[in-house]
Amino acid sequence: MTAQPYELVLKRACQIGLIVLQADETIEHDMRRMLPPSVEFLVSRVPSGTHVTLDTLSAMEVELKRAAALFPEAAVLRAVGYGCTSGSAQIGSGRVAEAVRAGKSTEEVSDPVTALIRACRAMQVTRIGLLSPYIQSVSRRLCDVLEEAGIGIVAFASFEESEEGRVAQIAPSSIKEAAIRLAGSADMDAVFVSCTNLRTLDLIDTVEAETGVPMMTSNQVLCWDLLRLVGAKGQGPGALWRQGITPD
């Protein structure tokens, strides 16, 4: 056998990583639709419970380092996202970032809660309506974290679902109707639909057009923030993306 000559690529493309819940069927597809071709997208998975409770969300913290360590050793990740909104609220964004960096060196770490807070500041949003798929205890923790960041929850609605596998099966029509009802229930600056596993991406422009209220979702704001952190531009729906990728 004759060894063939080859060259190494000296300049890498911009790479970002995403840690996805084992049970999540939605976020990877959404991210690939919004990311530009110039950004390489690498995924690792973290074990997650069948049912979503405060205990199962907390348990993911010890797994995050292992999940981050499974990214390719040679990859140079400019940013890593943790794809769990309620998990980020329960564990805490600072501890999420610490666990991720313990497994994989990266310049930036984001999560849907951190991304939402940054998006709200960019859009000067201080009052939101929150739609969650989850049970009250899980949703309450997210509300508390957002309110501590100065984002008031002026209206709230939930599908009261605890089984993660069913969340991805919630019909987009049900999500749209709930978001529209929520937007009309109080005076608010935006509607936020929480959870990376809900199929929301194709609903954003429609809900905004029907209500006149900006709509943000977990996957939308996380992708927006990751691209903002690496200085790249993607294409996504909603008023947030029409404002462009803004610096801190």
pLDDT tens digits along 229-240: 999 988 899 999
Q: How many angstroms separate the CA atoms of 203 and 175, rounded?
A: 8
pLDDT at residue 224, as a whole number? 97
pLDDT at residue 42, as a whole number? 97
Q: How many angstroms separate the CA atoms of 153 and 168, rounded?
A: 24
Least confident window among 56-65, 108-117, 234-243? 56-65
CB atoms near residue 175 (< 10 Å): 21
Q: How many angstroms separate the CA atoms of 233 and 230, rounded?
A: 9
Q: What is the dihedral of CA 110, 115, 121, 126, to 10 degrees?
A: -140
Q: Which residue has the higher pLDDT, 136 or 113?
A: 113
pLDDT at residue 191 tops 70: yes
Q: How many angstroms separate the CA atoms of 241 and 9, rounded?
A: 33
Crossing angle, helix 136-148 and helix 112-123, to 10 degrees?
A: 50
pLDDT at residue 248, as a whole number? 46
Q: What is the pTM of this model?
A: 0.93
Q: Which of 3-17, 158-172, 184-198 has the highest mean pLDDT?
A: 184-198
CB atoms near residue 25 (< 10 Å): 16
